[in-house]
Structure 1
Amino acid sequence: MSITLATLADVRELVVLINSSYRGESSKKGWTTEANLIGGQRIDNEGLTEQMADPNAVILKNTNDEGKITGCVYLQKRVDKLYLGMLTVSPVLQANGLGRQLLQAAEEYARSINYHTITMTVITTRTELLEWYERRGYSKTGEVMPLVITEKFGILKQPVEMFKLEKSV
């Protein structure tokens, strides 16, 4: 396994991975699915290309021995904190430590660019995911916000709220 910076050449493969991990039937093979709460796609080629074009953002990707992308994480500088999003592991590879490795790589990246706090949002009803992050040192800040997305990036099946989590690294 190898965790490196993703490039624009990776967009199509990343989009397939991210959508298969968060939405639709394929996501139900893993434990991080949002399919019961949100329908539609999580990201598209245009949206991911825009995110990667942001000079304050990077995507770290994991590739297997065959060069296939099996996981990724999005990181964006926001004032004095690094925002972490789209921590993604192929549904068929979940629960094998790859998510933990990507999270550790994100924390190492934060330190390498002199950022000392990582922040993220997690759906409030995803107790198993919240507990997973809490076991890795992330804490709820007390801030709760509604998830607001355009239909291009998902269709809410019910109102969804997000906890804000942070960790000092």
Structure 2
Amino acid sequence: MITKATSDDIPALEKLINSAYRGETSKKGWATEANLLEGKRITLDQLEEIFGDKNNTILKFTENNQIIGSVLLTDKGEKLYLGMLAISPELQNKGIGKKILQEAEIHARTLGLSKIVMTVITIREKLIEWYNRHGYADTGVREPFALNDADTIITDQHLEFAVLEKTL
């Protein structure tokens, strides 16, 4: 079931997002950043800030009272920004991400928005291909990779973001 997360979900979201992106646990899934970055992907304080901004919505995918997927959606006025899509590593490749993307599109339409935009690290080719299969196209725009205080880059490869967009 996909519903809006609340601030009560912050501890579970922090655990899910960090386990999906970084560290040994994330390596159980195919969408890990563990070969590129170390450190926390998100902190409890950052999640509190996200919930404090009325333009942000976090959707959660819950099964058996456990949050196993989530995504951050930000109303940017003309388009919806989609970020931090996280699926429990051991449950990736089961269609959960696809369902969350579909719900994000419904959310965008509800807000009267006809485009969804996101950024993905350019060298994460398999992830970009996955988004391409779901209708997201590379705009050709690149943005610099910005480090969080908790990030440590562990690759020699240049990190930058590709901007992907889908018109609904």
What TM-score, normalized to structure 1?
0.96
Equivalent of 2:105 in 104, 107, 117: 107
Q: CA deviation at 1:121?
A: 0.4
Which residue identity does 1:67 align to in structure 2? N
Counterpart of 2:12? Answer: 13
Counterpart of 1:61? Answer: 60
Q: CA deviation at 1:52?
A: 1.3
Which residue identity does 2:25 align to in structure 1? S
Distance 2:124 2:10 in 1: 27
Q: CA deviation at 1:146?
A: 1.8
Cα deviation 1:70-89 (Å, max 9, x = unaligned): 00000001121110001110
Counterpart of 1:71? Answer: 69
Q: CA deviation at 1:122?
A: 0.7
Which residue identity does 1:107 align to in structure 2? E
Distance 1:62 1:98 in 2: 8
Instruction: Tell me the secondary structure at the aligned position of residue 99 of structure 1.
Output: helix
Which residue identity does 1:55 align to in structure 2? K
Distance 2:113 2:152 in 1: 33
Instruction: Tell me the secondary structure at the aligned position of residue 151 of structure 1.
Output: coil
Distance 1:150 1:109 in 2: 28
Which residue identity does 1:95 align to in structure 2? N
Cα deviation 1:114-166 (Å, max 9, x = unaligned): 111000001111111111100111001110122112323x2122431110000
Equivalent of 1:141 in 132, 139, 142: 139
Q: State the percentage of identical aligned residues.
A: 48
- In the comparison of the two structures, how many residue pairs are matched? 166
Structure 1 stretches lacking a partner, 5+ long: none
Instruction: Tell me the secondary structure at the aligned position of residue 19 of structure 1.
Output: helix
Cα deviation 1:53-99 (Å, max 9, x = unaligned): 100010000000x2100000000011211100011100000000000
Say whether 1:51 aligns with 2:31. no
Runs of 4+ deviating beyond 2 Å: none
Say whether 1:89 aligns with 2:87. yes
Structure 2 stretches lacking a partner, 5+ long: none
Matches within 5 A, 1:110-125: 110-125=108-123
Counterpart of 2:36? Answer: 37
Q: Give the root-mean-square deviation of aligned CA atoms.
A: 0.8
What TM-score, normalized to structure 2?
0.96
